[in-house]
Amino acid sequence: MQVDCQKFKQDGYLHIPGLYRPEEVATWKQRTVERMRAEGSIDEPSGVRVWLSGQLDDYDRNKVQDPRIEEVLSQLIGPDVEFLSVKAVFKNSAATFGSPWHQDWHYWHGATKTSIWIALDDASPENGCLKVMPGSHLSVVEMRGDDSDAPGFGSRSNEKDLPDFPIVSLPASAGDGVVFSDLLLHSSHPNQSGEDRWAYISTYRDASVRDESTLWSESIVLSGQSVNV
């Protein structure tokens, strides 16, 4: 699959319809729900659960280093790509709040990372699809918000610090991906549907670039070689 690298550079994100098949993500979601029920994290009020590379089972490992992902990332990042972590973001009738505006870079600092938001359910403005500010990935914005209305989002922007970019909503079908820079300002609509809106966010970096981020002690090299592990 050929992707538009120029558009990614310009906007800081790319919507990739049909990255996975709907039945694949239905199974992926089902397995995740079962795993989270077993470990007791399904009622986590933040609606977020993160797994590092050493915590994945074989199924999840295969999913986050799927050849389709590698094909997309090799065009956007280059020949050396490594996986760092994956996070389930689950909005449901208990966790209805929209994710606040933020840049992921503040979670980890260091070298630029690239993530793929993967729709495990159809996502719309009614049930919490992503919102982005195209072009906002070219500068760092202070994260001075508090997390009182969105638990788990300690790193978030104040409305008054937000730059004046147009806001674009990104409805997605189950299986679609949105690849985005860790400096892209993004958020999501609240989930007002009473139904699930699950997504995965899987994070990668250019493995040829030395990264001072200390969050990860291990990675999975998808292609090429890593100077970091």
Ligand X SMILES: O=C(O)CCC(=O)C(=O)O
Using CB under 6 A as the criterion, which residues of the chain lie in contact with ligand X when the complex forms?
A: 48, 89, 99, 104, 130, 186, 188, 199, 201
Q: Are 100 and 150 in contact (CB under 8 A)?
A: yes
Q: Which is nearer to ligand X, 8 or 153 (CB)?
A: 153
Q: Which is nearer to ligand X, 141 or 199 (CB)?
A: 199
Q: How far is the CB of 181 from ligand X (least distance, A)?
A: 12
Q: How far is the CB of 224 from ligand X (least distance, A)?
A: 27
Q: Are 166 and 129 in contact (CB under 8 A)?
A: no
Q: How far is the CB of 198 from ligand X (least distance, A)?
A: 9
For 2, 82, 133, the CA distances from 216, given in Å and listed in that order, are 30, 11, 28
Alpha helix positions (H), 101-184: 105-108
Q: Which is nearer to ligand X, 36 or 221 (CB)?
A: 36
Q: How far is the CB of 227 from ligand X (least distance, A)?
A: 26
Q: Which is nearer to ligand X, 104 or 211 (CB)?
A: 104
- Residue length of the chain: 229
Check the CA dihedral 56-57-58-59 and report its sign.
Answer: negative
